[in-house]
Amino acid sequence: MATAMKLEKEMVLLNQHFSTDEEAIEAAGALLVNHGYVRPNYIESMKTRHRLSTVYIGNHVAIPHGTEEAKEEVLKTGLSILQVPNGVSFGTEQAKLIIGIAGIGDEHLELLSHIAIICSDEDNVERLVEAETAEEMIQLLSVEV
């Protein structure tokens, strides 16, 4: 990854199941909270952001992140990665990969760009959804783009 951020295996959860998009967003946010990337209020901001404009970006990928007003809730830049093999509905679409983003300053833009490039290839997304270990997912997301 072209960012200074290091992906950590404790930020990857495999084989998750969610009933709603909101539940998936809360889980992505809780992982960020539990590992000290954001304050708890950031989760509500992630849900608000999704209500304003969907965080589903296509190819079975959603990238929940907070609103501009929630920047003060971000403590350090990081990602939470949730693999949802059976998918969860985001409107009329099914997300199988939920990538929560927290970014200091404009660092989230670099993260969004990197993720968008990798996930624009459906084969990459399929490999991420089929990954059997956190290490495998990190390796797939860490390629130079």
Which pLDDT score is estimated for 2? 45
Full-prediction pTM beyond 0.85? yes
Distance separating alpha carbons of residues 39 and 116, to the nearest angstrom: 25
Which pLDDT score is estimated for 7? 85
Name the DSSP letter for residue 60.
T
Which pLDDT score is estimated for 1? 45
Q: Which residues of the chain have pLDDT under 70?
A: 1-5
**Residue 65 catalytic?**
yes
Catalytic residue, candidates 50, 60, 65, 114: 65
Which pLDDT score is estimated for 5? 56
Backbone angles phi, psi at 33, to 5 degrees: -65, -50
Which pLDDT score is estimated for 15? 97
C-alpha distance from residue 1 to each of 86, 88, 96, 140 (Å): 27, 27, 21, 10
